[in-house]
Structure 1
């Protein structure tokens, strides 16, 4: 019973204090520590305590940790007595704790819904909005600080080599980072940004984006700022623009708000264009061609404030943005709706996904069913 009692003691301490005392985790196995962090992150401390009360012996606890997902039948038989604590069981399963081997040196499994900051090859930190903490390198150097939903990197660190961090934001969340040169990046749902913890002298300022981000670039005429989005490169000196480069999308879009940017691609280097404010440049991933058009920039930048604006947008395209912003999965069997162009305006900070579906139903009659994070349209 010692293992279970130790875990329960840690969870009780968290429940009373509202935070994790890392010193209290001493003596726990790797998988047990990560399980505690997962329960804390998902606000399941109370449920975790109740669940552990149902485990009679340390043998059952070890069975829980070592249970392999490869055999669905055996896992189901083991979990069945604890179905009333389904949320806890699902939390354990979803982050892969049954696959953890305490004897190896692999990094801890982390919930897919966590905001993650990779500061080294195997060093990944979980970031939570509302918290404050120092951002420290794998060698112990202080790089910056997190405050609420923003990381700010210090321009005065003694880093003299090119070291990268990678910030990953899951569906349903947005996070911000201020780079060492003062450039501010708003990172949208389902996106990754790889960037140097400090820009070095005599080098270009280069970052790499997967997904969507809004950049407010600090002006520096001697050090151009380049955003790499797959095959497309956007180069600026100081300006504001939005880049969207999700893997599943057919296009890479750059919308300029202020200043000017130069856009090129690695497939056809000679295809280099300069755009002005109010222009959207679109690079087609299949034809490798770039086209430009005048747009309302608010349609492409409102997401920073939680606003989703759609104007003559195919529902199939609208569906993707709703899935990312609300962290839901939408299955649409209505082919006529998929090809329908709609106008709509939502705010994820105010309206729930159910509110959104009701509004769409008022624009275009449809039947749908919401089950947790799954939405089915008939």
Structure 2
């Protein structure tokens, strides 16, 4: 295979766009390279078979990903083969499938005062119009209260539901549902719209919901919306200089302030994303995005890109899905969900990226074992602080 042809196919494999024929050619070349590489002679026959099988399975999943993606380690000879041809391209490490940890891997998670840190839970705080705060958790009990002609029901399974009380007038009291780091919750609004809140997020809304011909809510952080269709009353989400307007659709908004962008991703229907630069409507710009598109709002304006939606809503479905995500992005998500602080060693190579899938229900130690299984990074965990260092 010519060098230029291999580079073209390797790029398509890395992007997840390779055809079956291209994957076959790519695997054939890697097998040839391995057999002609001196390092390959140092690998035992049984380990050779495991490595080749893992690579084939990992690449095959790019064409037809199953519900749960297996996580594998990239071995040195594979990285060497890629680096010879791809030069300055960042290396993408695929995580090793979780297995009982051997002694070498234990060394990559040093801990002198490390408590067991469990996954986030279904918890939130509801702030009523009168300022009263109600703590919500995942205990299987049902509570209900009424406010301004609206019944508020705390249901099992981490959900809050608003319903109209027949025969009473609905007044515009303002409620806020908020989650801390390590918490998630969902709410069904008065019109039947359901909203899932990710960790460290809040949703502020009128209990009556309807006002001036619109349904309007304010969001900080990240949430997934399934909006009840109502052509006469558009649903509007406001978030730090952005306005998303829909009639009835499914979409996700990620607007964490420390990320520096607001990302709106569409899963069903269509939405209009409006940016009010400098808070001025006279300087606003807008785009309409389609299914599978993401509008990224930054100080430079709005950019529309294609996005794999299952990765965007992985948190709602109980998973971490990493696809060519930087170490900084990976650790930011882990930090929010496990309510831990992350410190990076100043010599750390932050340019490496990760791909793979892990359940968000796992304890933190399991997640760190998978990440350290790449052999490129290691962790020091003390109390609720993770220090990330180079493993080599």
Under TM normalisation by the shorter chain, which class is it? 0.5 to 0.7
Counterpart position of 2:72: none
Counterpart position of 2:138: 129
Q: CA RMSD in A?
A: 1.9
Counterpart position of 2:219: 209
**How far off its partner does 1:114 sit?**
6.1
**Match for residue 161 of structure 1 among 164, 171, 194:** 171
> What secondary structure, in the 3-state scheme, does the structure 1 residue paired with 2:373 have?
helix
Q: Relative to structure 1, is the Cα distance of residues 308 and 339 closer, same or farther in structure 2, using a 3 angstrom cutoff?
A: same
**How far off its partner does 1:118 sit?**
0.3
Counterpart position of 1:281: 295
Counterpart position of 1:146: 154
- Count of paired positions: 261
Q: 2:360 and 2:274 mapped to 1: Cα distance?
A: 33
Question: Is this contact kept in 2: 1:132–1:146, CA < 8 A?
Answer: yes
> What secondary structure, in the 3-state scheme, does the structure 2 residue paired with 1:198 have?
strand
Higher strand share: 2
Is 1:372 matched with 2:379?
A: no
Please report the TM-score for the alignment, with normalisation by the length of structure 1.
0.65
Question: What are structure 2's unaligned runs of at least 5 residues?
Answer: 1-121
**Mean Cα displacement is larger for which, 174-183 or 194-203?**
194-203
Is 1:251 matched with 2:265?
A: no
Deviations 1:273-301 (CA, angstroms, capped at 9, x unpaired): 101000011001x32x1111111100100
Question: Is this contact kept in 1: 2:251–2:265, CA < 8 A?
Answer: yes
Q: Relative to structure 1, is the Cα distance of residues 364 and 208 closer, same or farther in structure 2, using a 3 angstrom cutoff?
A: farther
Please report the TM-score for the alignment, with normalisation by the length of structure 2.
0.63
Deviations 1:297-324 (CA, angstroms, capped at 9, x unpaired): 0010011121111111111111111111
Question: What are structure 1's unaligned runs of at least 5 residues?
Answer: 1-112
**How far off its partner does 1:364 sit?**
4.4
Q: Relative to structure 1, is the Cα distance of residues 299 and 136 closer, same or farther in structure 2, using a 3 angstrom cutoff?
A: same
**Match for residue 236 of structure 1 among 233, 246, 249:** 246
Is 1:337 matched with 2:345?
A: no
The structure 1 segments of at least 4 consecutive aligned residues displaced by more than 3 Å after TM superposition are 334-337
The structure, 1 or 2, with the larger RCO (C-alpha pairs under 8 Å, 6+ apart) is 2
Counterpart position of 1:354: 365
> What secondary structure, in the 3-state scheme, does the structure 1 residue paired with 2:285 have?
coil
Q: 2:374 and 2:295 mapped to 1: Cα distance?
A: 30
**How far off its partner does 1:162 sit?**
1.9
Q: 1:186 and 1:135 mapped to 2: Cα distance?
A: 21
Q: 1:375 and 1:124 mapped to 2: Cα distance?
A: 32
